[in-house]
Amino acid sequence: MSLFGDAFAWIFAHWTSGPDVSAHVLEHLAVSGLCVLIAVAIALPIGVAIGHTGRGRGAAILISNVARALPTLGLLSILILLTGIGVLPIAIVLVILAIPPMLAGAYAGVESVDRQTIDAARALGMTEWQIIARVEIPLALPLLIGGLRATALQVIATLGIASAFAFGGLGIYLINGVNTGDYVQLLAGAILITALALIVDGVLAIAQRFVVPRGVALGRTDQNGPPNRTRAQRPRALQEGTQS
């Protein structure tokens, strides 16, 4: 276990010097953040549209199942061979992999909204756009953020693997560690990636708690039981996005 001590010492010793850990942390965060944003911009409108209209549901399920089966390492290697080494091919793979969990979150979230609530909104004279913006999306937020969590994890983890294909990021310490047999550096890399994933996920998990609309939170009698919804209430599908 003293290996852990050595690894932490290594991280602190190299925080701003030598292989410069802090710069790699920032690089990892910046690239992941950008890819998640792009994926959200693409997947959110499509997912909300599928959830609202109920059309294209089969395609959404198919996409997320195939994405789960696709090995990220394989996708990275083939795209980099086709397009060349660089940030761009890696970003493309990350966005491709980030879309399915976000799509699933958006679509399951909107679809999980109680049909009676939507009918009530329609009866009040709301337009379809108002229903989407003021009823469906607020009620879907917990599942939407669940999708965002899965997306962020997917991207952070995949970016860690991307270091095997000549990209910096935090995975570089893992790759260097394996190649040189330097277990301390190897473990330090694993600790850094794990910490980053846990912190980002924790922040989003807290956000997820706060976005439950007050009316829904009040209406719940049982925290774990199904709230006032009729179907697709389980966010677990989203937590189980593709790991990489």
Among 146, 156, 167, 227, binds another protein (CB under 8 A): 156
Among 21, 99, 141, 175, binds another protein (CB under 8 A): 175
Among 43, 76, 102, 135, binds another protein (CB under 8 A): 76
Residue 184 to residue 153: CA distance in whole angstroms: 24
Among 17, 82, 123, 221, binds another protein (CB under 8 A): 82
Q: What torsion do the CA atoms of 123, 124, 129, 132 make, to the nearest 10 degrees?
A: -80
Total interface residues for another protein by CB under 8 A: 58
Please say which residue, 91 or 147, places its beta carbon nearer to another protein: 147
Contact flag: residue 37 with another protein (CB under 8 A): no
Please say which residue, 42 or 73, places its beta carbon nearer to another protein: 73
Q: How many degrees, rounded to 5, is the angle at CA 181 between CA 178 and CA 183?
A: 85
Among 21, 43, 47, 64, binds another protein (CB under 8 A): 64
| Shortest reach from residue 177's CB to another protein, in Å | 8
Please say which residue, 126 or 204, places its beta carbon nearer to another protein: 204
Among 49, 201, 212, 229, binds another protein (CB under 8 A): 201
Residue 196 CB coordination number (10 Å): 19
The interaxial angle of helices 137-162 and 171-180, nearest 10 deg, is 30
Residue 139 to residue 112: CA distance in whole angstroms: 9
Contact flag: residue 218 with another protein (CB under 8 A): no
In the numeric block, the tokens 């860690």 are attached to: 160
Contact flag: residue 12 with another protein (CB under 8 A): no
Contact 48, 106 (CB under 8 A): yes
96-155 residues in contact with another protein (CB under 8 A) are 104, 108, 153
Contact flag: residue 72 with another protein (CB under 8 A): yes
**Which residues does 235 contact at the CB level (< 8 Å), separation at least 6?**
108, 142, 143, 146
176-195 residues in contact with another protein (CB under 8 A) are 177-178, 183, 186-187, 189-191, 193-194
Contact 157, 179 (CB under 8 A): no
Contact flag: residue 171 with another protein (CB under 8 A): yes
Which residues of this chain interact with another protein, rule CB under 8 A? 1, 3-4, 57, 60-61, 64-65, 68-78, 80-82, 104, 108, 153, 156-157, 160-161, 164-165, 171, 174-175, 177-178, 183, 186-187, 189-191, 193-194, 197-198, 201, 224, 231-232, 234, 236-237, 239-240, 242-244
